[in-house]
Structure 1
């Protein structure tokens, strides 16, 4: 009988993260340790089993057939034991570093309450929040460098598990000086988020709907900066109502065209193969979030 006295749960967890992220360095960062420590763990398992578990393909470390079988067989056991222990303690002892991706609109609406709840109820969970546009966040999520993402949707794919968390109405806005000069009765520059963002799609669709040709179409990848540019500049933009309601109330911005029928819909997303019980617990919480709702007759962007 083979006796494996030195193989521990952290050895199996190491294998799972190398397999998921593709390099020892990425696994070391994810597990908050060093690359030499990761290499040492792999050597310990290989010495214990007497087989090679990884082979190098370019810059990535790829599991051998035996290594792949070991990970496939042990991951459900590892996650099941981890979940049982966390559930027994009502997740009170949950310790993890969770990497969260969010767009600015989600970050300005539902994300603060989500983070406050995690800080209060899961004090052992460290959160790494990064704001970005939907396309790069989606790529990061699928690559395993983000754990949970709040995306402008709808998004779909064989590697994603998503849940709707609400929608945000949009407004065409400009600064008061632009409105005073007649708004779109003159040819104006238009500002937008970059191409492939929902706001850009709505911008182009509504310009076409109203038969308007902008003097120039500028882009900026930061919504708050976009708001300030429009408030103090010469152009107009489609902006999320939840982020400009204060500007509209004070007169720093004014609506320049009828509100678009389209709205931006948001979803919480994780990978379909995600088995980490802490991430699954946080995703369950994220599914219960609700961004400010919109009228029923609005269309998705």
Structure 2
């Protein structure tokens, strides 16, 4: 056994393979290639003199020795990271954190949160991706992102979550369309986010309780595009209040009176339970203190 030739990057790579489940996911998380990850694991096995993986068809799984090494090294590496951060503080932290967010979060709490985070952790690179909730959760589970701001509730045993408040939904249209609807027109186009969005469910329930014709519903996977369609007179929509404050204030969009009440959309921040990196944990704890009511009123 040549333990003196085992490097931290060997162990870090092993831990990310265990956390994310595949060599390719670990390679993406570590910003390297799958052949590099495979080479590191071959080196680690050679230097320890034991097999850490077994091949099962096209998949790889940890051996008993591999599982023991992960269990023993995970807390050691975490303690080392905390010790290094303790000497330099989070202002000296580095690395890349990938954050997924829905459009609503991106239009409300995310900008100020990111600005404060960069001020306190200037050397931590951030990669932000905007997507729908279903995609955000899948990307989080597969390790493509490290944290997500998503519409909830979110329930998965591999994720830990914290509620960060609710966003109100409002019925809006251009002034001309709102006037036509008030005059009795029921065949106006209605716009909703795609079927895997929580707003779509609210829309279906609201249409069923209103005089809007069911066949009027149209779908779009981008809330900003829906807002622009409504501003152009293209129909009625249910919109997140933080995203349309400016349009309502300017008169480009007008509320529609007498429509069914809409339940607000609950939001959570989420990360993987298996992730124990101090920097990521610190960012999650900061995000968990957010309150959408403070930024969306």
- Which TM-score applies when normalising by structure 1? 0.91
User: 1:191-250 deviations in whole A, cap 9, x for unaligned?
Assistant: 100113221111111222224324421111111001001111331111011111111111
Deviation at 1:87, TM superposition (A): 2.6
**Following the alignment from structure 1 to structure 2, what is the Cα–Cα distance between the partners of residues 41 and 269?**
30
2:288 aligned residue: 287
Q: Offset at 1:36?
A: 3.4
Deviation at 1:178, TM superposition (A): 1.0
**Corresponding residue for 1:55?**
54
Match of 2:81 in 1: 82
1:25 and 1:196 mapped to 2: Cα distance? 27
SS of the residue aligned with 2:82?
A: helix
- 1:188, CA displacement in angstroms? 1.6
Q: Secondary structure at the match of 2:274?
A: coil
Q: Deviations over 1:102-159 (max 9, x none)?
A: 0001001111111111211111211111111111111221222221100111222222
Q: Is contact 1:172–1:260 with CA below 8 Å preserved after alignment?
A: no
2:144 is aligned to 145
- Secondary structure of the 2:91 match is coil
- Which residue does 1:299 correspond to in 2? none
Q: Secondary structure at the match of 2:282?
A: helix
* Corresponding residue of 1:39: 38
User: What residue in structure 1 maps to residue 65 of structure 2?
Assistant: 66
User: Secondary structure of 2:292's match?
Assistant: coil
CA contact (8 A) 2:45 2:52 kept: yes
Partner of 2:269: 268
Secondary structure of 1:245's counterpart equals: helix
- Which deviates further from its counterpart, 194-203 or 99-108? 194-203
Say which SS state the counterpart of residue 262 (structure 1) adopts. Answer: coil
How many pairs align?
294
Is 1:242 the counterpart of 2:214? The answer is no
Q: How many angstroms apart in 1 are the aligned matches of 2:17 and 2:161?
A: 25
Cα distance in structure 2, aligned partners of 1:84 and 1:220: 48
Which residue of structure 1 lines up, in the alignment, with residue 229 of structure 2?
229
Q: After TM superposition, give the deviation of residue 84 of structure 1 in Å.
A: 2.2
Aligned runs of 1:107-256 on 2, under 5 Å? 107-183=106-182, 185-186=184-185, 187-256=187-256
Q: 1:279 to 1:207 in 2, by over 3 A?
A: same
> Partners of 1:24 and 1:271 in 2: how far apart?
18
Q: Distance in 1 between matches of 2:4 and 2:295?
A: 59
Residues 75 and 99 of structure 1, relative CA distance in 2, 3 Å threshold: same
Q: Would the aligned equivalents of 1:166 and 1:293 in 2 still touch at CA under 8 Å?
A: no
CA distance in 1 between partners of 2:181 and 2:46 (Å): 77
